[in-house]
Structures are given as C-alpha cells and as structure tokens.
Structure 1
Amino acid sequence: MTKFRNIESLGALAGKRVLLRADLNVPMKLDDDGNRVVTDDTRIKSVTPTIMALAEAGARVLVLSHFGRPKGERVPEMSLEPLGQPLANATRLPVSYIDDCIGDEVGEVIDAMEDGAVLLLENVRFYKQETDNDADFAEALAANADFYVNDAFSCCHRAHASTEGIAKILPSAAGLALEKELNALEGALGSPVHPVAALVGGAKVSTKLDVLTNLVEKVDHLIIGGGMANTFLAAQGVDVGASLCEHDLADTAKNILANADKAGCKIHLPSDVVLAKEFAANAENRTSGTDDVASDEMILDVGAASAANVAEALETCKTLIWNGPMGAFEIEPFDAATVTVAKAAGSLTENGTLVSVAGGGDTVAALNHAGVAEQFSHISTAGGAFLEWMEGKELPGVQVLLA
C-alpha cells in the first residue's frame, strides 16, 4: 500500500502559515450586471473540508490556485477575486483576498492575519515561472509559508512550482480531498480486490492507448464502449459503416486484444448495437447485431443485450474503474446502455458487493445523467490526472508527498 504524508503528519498548526494548493478553476459566467459568477461549485466544495480543518487547527490558511491559461500575463478576466465570496459561503469563514501570491506585501498581510483566518491569493499562473516549475519562484511561494498542503488532485499530473517545486522546500502533505482520492485510487488499481473490471469508453482509441495497454495487465475484465469499440470491432473484420472509427489503428487494437488474451483479461465488446443514419436526438434508429451495419449507418450506442451482459459481468466483480460512456449518452435514446450499466454498478455498490471508482468529465456527466453518481464509492472530477493514473504513470504532485 502506497504511503503518503497527510495533514496529521505536520503536527501542531496553531499560528502556522499553511499554503494550500487548491483547484479553483471553476466554470464561471457573467451575470446581468457583468459580474463573474460561479456556475458549478463542485471544486470549491471539494476543498472546503480541508480549509475548515486547517482553520479549526488555528492555522493561517493561504489558498493558492490557478484559473484558466493566462500564460504568465495578468488577465483581469482570470483573477481569483470573485471566488472569495463563494469560498466564504462554502466554509462559513471570512475570506480576504490579495492581488498577488508572492512577495513582501503578501507576507505583511499574512503576518497581520489572525490564527484561523483564510486568505485567497491571486492566480498563480499570472507568473510564467509557475508552469516552468522555476525553482526561484517555488522559493518565493514558500517564503510566506511554514507548511504546504496539496488538495488539488486534478493538478497533480503537472510538475509545476505550486504542485511539485514547493513541496520539495516546505514540510508538505496531502489535504483531506487528495487523501481520500489517493486512498480510493489505490484501492481500485494499486491493491484492489479481484476480480477487477475497467470500463473504458469515449470517442477515440488514440486518446486512451496507454490506458488500455496498462489496464489489460491489471484487470480481469476490460469493457470497451463508445466510438472506441468501433475501432476494435473493425479490427476484427466487422463492417462498422459510417461509424466513428480509427481504421488506421487496427493493428494497435489487435495487439491490445492479443496482450489481453496473454494476461488473462477478458475483453467485452458489443455483440449488438444501436444504429442511426444521423447524429441527432430521437433520430430514427434500430438495434441489430454487429454483422448487420449498413454503409450509411452509425453505431451510436451499445445494444440492450450487450449492456445486460456487462451488467451481469459486474455481478461477478469486486472492483470497478470507469472512464468514458458506453455510447452517445448526451442524446436520447443513445444513452440507454450507459444508463443501464451505470444503474447496475450503482446498485451493486450500494449493496456493498462492488467498490466503484469513476473519473473524467464525460463520465461524471454520464453518471449524473443516470442518477447514480452518489451511489458510487468515489468519483474523481479530475480529467488528465485521472487518465494518467489509469495509464500507470507517476504523478509528480503525488510523488513528492510520499512518506
């Protein structure tokens, strides 16, 4: 079991300055008065328990985050100032703001803070040195803090000054959300209870080659859905008609199938599919076997029989990792397979027979659409970091926190 430092390992925090790396890169829009307002506060809620725990321990909490891609320039539309009030609402603590994240002026404000107070620092990516992982910039960030806490798993795959550089300077630890995330991921792929199933969907095999290559060595069942399944079907000689398909990756798909066979990993591909001639909601459609796809038809979902087979396979499993939908879940009726399998997984999890871990933007949206997100053991809102974890890669922001 991988061990990493948590907040408790830092010792007494009363009166200490704790720099907390959060991910406050939240969706925002302009209201009628032209003010930027948050439209999805999921990431704010995620970091709230850590902020409150640090404040209750008497620390001076310095919240650091990026927003957008300002590329080292001060972009007013990417300032974190509008996030002060949403943070205060979520934590029920007063949150002050300063328009920088390094320097003597920031230090003076921190020195004047009361223990248990919260200060929101300005967008760390206003400095190009952040993404360069510049050592001097990391030192400047560290200069105004005694401890460093990372609670932004979604940023851990980046070796930036605020995710890796600073953790090599200050005593550092994982925040509560990151700790929960790492424990869930370790339980799902690091040292899981077998049999393990991985459901990987989405449009293209090319975006998840490393994921598939890693998973066939780690899991007992690999369920492939979405446009990716079409590429595998085509590699086996199936005519997929006008479906989204990467025909140039046929050999790659064959290699993955061969490696899975050697590793004893059972690959699940659809035997029946839902077909339509246009990609539109409630388009005229039909379900057929994979051997009956017309040249002008597109595979837009896995068929009911295949979805039922996947649900049945999950009943034999103890662990599930999910990334990507089974079909074009955004439009009805091509959401049916995703909903069927999601409900099956949610029910098994609720009954205590399955540990289910899911991640990625489309996946979260699909599980919310199916109404089962709260039934899953753990849902990661991280995109790139979750994928790199599935690929078996070391995440720089996590490696520096290992005990």
Structure 2
Amino acid sequence: MKLKGQRHLYALDLGAALALTAIYVGFARLTADDAQPAYTGPTWLGFLIAAAVGLPIAVRRRWPLPALGIVLAALAAASLLDIPREPYIAAGLAAYLVGLAEPVRRSVPALAVTLPVACGTVYLCQAVVTPAEDGQGAVGVAALVLVVIGGAWGAGFAVRGRRVEAGREEQRRAEHALDEERLRIARELHDIVSHNLSLIAVKAGIAGHVAEADPQEARAALKVIEETSRSALAEMRRTLGVLRTEGAPLGPVPDLDRLGSLAAETNRAGVDVDLTVRGTQSLAEGTQLTIYRIVQEALTNAVRHAAPTRCRVTVEADTCEIRIDIEDEGPPPGCPPANRPLPGGHGLLGMRERAMMYGGSFEAGPRQEGGFAVSVRLPAEGKQ
C-alpha cells in the first residue's frame, strides 16, 4: 500500500513537471504583442530554461535539494531574460519537499539561500533590468515570491514535524505495549511456577514421608511430580515462546475447558476440588484466561496452606456479571498443612490486579467457619 501511494505521488509530480514545462515553453514563445516585455532570445535557450524550471519537479521527492537548486537557477535566468511574470510556483513546489524531507541542518540553510536569491532577482528585474513596475510594485511582486516559497517551505516543515511527533507517539505506544506484554508474561510465569512447584513440593514431602512405610504411595507421588514437571515445562515453553525471535510453536491459551484438568491436578496434591462452571461458553479468550489464572492461583494457595482439605470452586456468568468463588475448608483439626506458609508471595496481589484490569472487584480472607475464601466479581462482557 505504501509503494502504491508513493507511485501515485510520483505520478502527480510528473504531471506537475510537464505542466510547468509547457507553461514556460508558452512564456518563451510570447511576442511583444502578447505581453510586455517579451523574451527575444534564441528559441532553444527558452526551451532549455523551460525544461530546467519544470522537469526537476518530477524528481523532487528523490533529490529535493538538487531539484530546488536547478529550479531556482532556471527561474532566475528566466526572470533576467523576461520569460515569465509569475511568483515562482515551481520554486515553491521544490521548497515544500526540502522542508518536508530534508533535516533541519540542511533545509534551513537552503531556505536562507533561496529566499534572498529569488526575491532579489525578482525585484532587480522588475525595478531595474526591464522595469515593468514602479518601486512599490516591484516590492509587492518580490513579497509575493517570498510568501509563495517561504509558505511552501513552512508547510513542508510543519508536516515533517507532525510526522516526527506521530512517529514518536507510535514508538511510545509500542514501548507501552511491550511493557504490558512483559507484565503479562511475568504474571503467566508466576502463576505457572507457583502452581506447579507447590504441587511438586507437596508431593515430594509426601514421598519423603512415606518412602519406607508405603513405597507404592511414594511411587504414586513421584509419578505426580513427573507429570506436573512435564506440564510446567511445556507451559513455560509456550509462554516464553513469544520472546523468541525465530518463533516457537505455541500451544492454546488456557481456558475454562482446562479447569477440569486443573482440578484433577489439585486433587492429586491433596485438595478435593468440587468444581461448578455455568454460563461461560461465550466468554472471550482473554476473560477465560483471567478466570483460569485466578482459580489456579487460589487452588495453589489451598494446596500450599491448607492441604489436605476440601475446596469448592464456582464460576458463573450471566448478563450482569461474572462470579468467581473459591472456598477451602482449611486443614482438618489437629492436622497441620501439608506445606507450611511461605514468606512473601504475590498470589493475592496478582489475582487483585487481574480483577482490577477488567474493572472488577476482589475480596479474600479467612472464613468464620474456618478455611479461606476468594471472591471475584467481573462485569459482564460488553459492560466494562
């Protein structure tokens, strides 16, 4: 599309170049009866000057400064030879591209040279060489030339400034998008690592505890560790694949169809999950991922701090809102958690950020009857 647009502009420049050349050929062929004064030099010289005035406009986008220099010299010669009486339109067209395409260090000196040469030549011809105006009239014509060339250059310079600012704004948006993508990947990696390592830690503790007394249970725990490790590695590869310049085969983004598998993994880690999902079939992919990660993080916390226990997970969506409730009963009386609380952590903060990103609400805290509850409310899609 860009190349097509450039060809269109080059075609317009070619048309303008041919039109200006034809106009100046007409000027060169005027007789004393047609205008006062009139060109009386050799025909070939008039045609050469006409070509030098018009044809460089066809290549002004490729060579702005040379085109302006040739046009300016040809217009000055035409003025001295009484070929035209016009306000340097060709110079204005060339000056526009100089202001638009050339850097300031070149376009400003070019303008500083062009304006005195053009205005001085016009005034000298109008008032001294072949007077066609009085002094005031000559100043007026020179001022018109100044307006045409200076205005054209200024217009090109202004457009250049807007394009530079637009490019900077686009770069800022790209950097912002990159930051957002990095934050998304950080959240994804946190959820993946936190959830799977918690399962591995729980099962490793069980395996170590029952290794001698119940080798079969120990082998089952090691099997869960193997499966969880493989799953975690595959999911991390998919997440980190977006950072590889050569590209990587990406798997599907986790959605609500995988909540069953997530519940099964959590069951193997000592948390009996009662999962209920209703009305979520039409939710967008991004919303499903957010819900999946919230449930995953809440179940990870249940495994880490409350296993063995029971946990109810309810995900419901209707036309008003999306409700996500995760409630665990806490460890049985007299039975310490399978994995002691770890210092720090960003699980609750991550869930809160995901809810806030969709304009929702987040609540989490101990239940009066024991255990822990997480409650998230998201606006129905289309009402964010």
Range class of TM-score, shorter chain: under 0.3
Greater strand proportion: 1
TM-score (norm 2): 0.21
TM-score (norm 1): 0.21
